[in-house]
A and B are shown apart, each in its own frame.
Chain A
Amino acid sequence: MQTPHRQHLGRLGERLAAAHFARLGFSVLAQNHHTRFGELDLVLSDGRTLVFCEVKTRRLGSGEPLESLHGAKQSQVRRIAAHWLSEPSDRPWHEELRFDAIGVLVDRDDGLVRLDHIENAF
């Protein structure tokens, strides 16, 4: 499965993404939420909009982060989101629902190089 090294990179990206969302006024409802279909990276809310965010992290020189967010992955995220919403816990009601994508590029020393945030990505 995931090597500790890759897991570390993924968690780093998610932390950076969450910090970015915090600056936009969003609060994290769930992080790395596991379901039988897979994992939701981030679920956030600003009170009005519910955001499911898929975070892709790459180290400098190994390609574009968002390139690997292909159609199959997109529909997987949608499926997990539906599953999350239908879980019997008390989900807050929101006017809007959105799927975002965040691509994080970091250098060898874990320093942030670039963060692309695409709203309504899919």
Chain B
Amino acid sequence: MIARVSTFAVDGVTSRRVWVEADIRSKGLPAFTVVGLADKAVREARERVRAALQNSGFVFPGGRITVNLAPADLRKIGPGFDLPLALALLVAGGELEADELAGCAVIGELALNGELRAVRGTLAIAEGARRHGLRRILLPCGVAAEAALVPELEVLAAATLEEAVDFVRGDAEPPVPADLAPEPLAGAAPLDLADVRGHNGLIPALEVAAAGGHNLYLHGPPGTGKTMLARRLPSILPPMTAGEAIEVTRISSVGGLHHGGGLAVERPFRAPHHTISASGLVGGGAHPTPGEATLAHHGVLFLDELSEFARPSLEALRQPLEDGHVTIVRGQKVMAFPTRFMLVAASNPCPCGLGGDDCTCSAADLGRHHRRLSGPLLDRIDVLVAVGRPAAGALRDEQAPSSAAVRERVVAARERQADRLAAHGLTCNAQMPARLLREHAEATPSALRLLYELHDRHRLSARGHGRVLRVARTLADLDESSTVGPEHITLAAALRLEAAALAAAA
């Protein structure tokens, strides 16, 4: 008897349909073979499935069992094929009717006692099921709330293999997925800008960066609050739209970061250690998996101690920063991952960290430090902030405005941008290509004159020119002004030219 069960394999940040075909022949030596380009975890499924079936009170079919995972050219990875495999064996063994599984996607890892364990990428899989016109999806109850985000898809959330079989047979009613969502993890209290003391002068720069989605560079001596400021950036970014939240949920689920509840509500904040490799940062591996840049999609990618990152890692960030996606080519496989993140980099002024007159670094150290920072990466950073040592009095008395207040202004500015850019499928000024920038910047004649003057005097690159105009556009949005005036250009240039000066100094 032959059986066929529909399941899905995570492929990048989407999913592809996979058929689990099982054939049992009574003739021949007892054997259990899995074919179809399966990796180690899938071949080990044999032992898990055998134990889980027997411990759940089912008969493990005797005879010669051959399981095929089709399409045979797609590499099958991970333990998510356990449950479809077990059900295929039950159908092939005659314990389950084949039509009861028609139109149903099945996914889940099995424990030896028959319990179902959560799998990665549930949202991508549920979306795949919907795309292929399947009506139902059977999965572990730990990830049911995630699958329930997909409309018009019946979610059968089972805790054990036995329960799964009951739901498929229609002997029991599956629970409502929304009730199964785990309590949000009781993490640390959200960080608030109001915790920051003595840096009130820097808040407007953070506000501009958040309002326009501009990349931000903080530099200053150690211990002055660069990391503290960066970590609070997500708290002033506008809340995610429904579409963004779905994307973030899908990616964090594929990356194994999602706790299995419903929609992600907070923008991701990723702060990889500076020893990260290029493929860890932008994605890679023999079967390309998303890197930190993709996990930070629609959120913040924070590179602390920027000068300590390996050169190849930083260079690899150039395409993602510019295009909003990264294309990974490995062997026969080409994969594109979204990477629309806001880059926040922090660095000491020099390797010893003291900077200025106290610096004890050698000239060679300084040269290496600046070479790391300089060049094309810094050219893609719009807002540069020097974080200095606050005065003792300010440290005691000066409190930054609360995140909520700043966020309100940011949201208002983003709304103005969205009105302007929605027709082009963009959400903030930082994403505008040059053509749209010319169309939408609407600089006043005096502002343009000022810009050309800056161009001649400070040898701005063509890209730098566009970046100044882009930040100026954000400043105008924060001012609720429809045109970019000279004051906006001056401010934008001040936030930008320091970066150019730093690059020139290197």
Contact = CB atoms under 8 A, between A and B. Distances in A.
A122 B29 contact: yes
Interface string B16-37: 0000000000011110000000
B62 interface: yes
Contacts of B30: 64, 66-67, 69
A121 interface: yes
Interface in B294-331: none
Contact of B28 (A67, A74, A121): A121
A118 B30 CA distance: 10
A53 interface: no
Interface in A107-122: 118, 121-122
A17 interface: no
A67 B64 CA distance: 10
A43 interface: no
Nearest to A66: B30
A105 B59 CA distance: 19
A69 B27 CA distance: 15
A55 interface: no
Interface residues of A, number: 9
Contacts of B62: 64
Contacts of A118: 27-29
- With a 10 A CB-CB cut-off, give which of B29, B30, B62 has the most chain A CB atoms: B29
B33 to A, nearest CB: 10
Contacts of B27: 118
A101 interface: yes
Interface in B22-67: 27-30, 62
B95 to A, nearest CB: 18
Nearest to A74: B29
Interface string A57-95: 000000010110100001000000000000000000000
B396 to A, nearest CB: 75
A72 B30 CA distance: 14
B64 to A, nearest CB: 10
Contacts of B28: 118, 121
A25 B59 CA distance: 37
A64 B26 CA distance: 14
A74 B62 CA distance: 19
A117 to B, nearest CB: 11
A24 to B, nearest CB: 17
Nearest to A120: B28
A83 to B, nearest CB: 22
Nearest to B29: A121
Nearest to A68: B30
- With a 10 A CB-CB cut-off, give which of A64, A66, A101 has the most chain B CB atoms: A66
A101 B64 CA distance: 14
Contacts of A69: 29-30
B324 to A, nearest CB: 51
Interface string B102-125: 000000000000000000000000
Nearest to A101: B29
A122 B62 CA distance: 17
A76 B178 CA distance: 56
A102 B27 CA distance: 13
A122 B29 CA distance: 8
A64 B61 CA distance: 11
Contacts of A121: 28-29
A66 B29 CA distance: 7
Contacts of B29: 66, 69, 74, 101, 118, 121-122
Contacts of A64: 30, 62
Contacts of A101: 29
A66 B28 CA distance: 10
A121 B25 CA distance: 13
Nearest to A67: B30
Contacts of A74: 29
A118 B25 CA distance: 13
- With a 10 A CB-CB cut-off, give which of B27, B30, B62 has the most chain A CB atoms: B30
A94 B273 CA distance: 70
A118 B28 CA distance: 6
A121 B29 CA distance: 6
Nearest to A65: B30
Interface string B47-89: 0000000000000001000000000000000000000000000
A122 B30 CA distance: 11
Contacts of A66: 29-30
Nearest to A121: B29
B470 to A, nearest CB: 65
A53 to B, nearest CB: 13
B497 to A, nearest CB: 71
A44 B62 CA distance: 28
Interface string B323-358: 000000000000000000000000000000000000
**Which 10 A-B pairs have CB atoms at the shortest separation, nearest pair first?**
A121-B29, A67-B30, A66-B30, A101-B29, A66-B29, A69-B29, A118-B29, A118-B28, A64-B62, A64-B30
15 contacts: A64-B30, A64-B62, A66-B29, A66-B30, A67-B30, A69-B29, A69-B30, A74-B29, A101-B29, A118-B27, A118-B28, A118-B29, A121-B28, A121-B29, A122-B29
Interface of A: 64, 66-67, 69, 74, 101, 118, 121-122
Given A66-B30, A69-B29, A122-B29, 9 more contacts: A64-B30, A64-B62, A66-B29, A69-B30, A74-B29, A101-B29, A118-B27, A118-B28, A121-B29
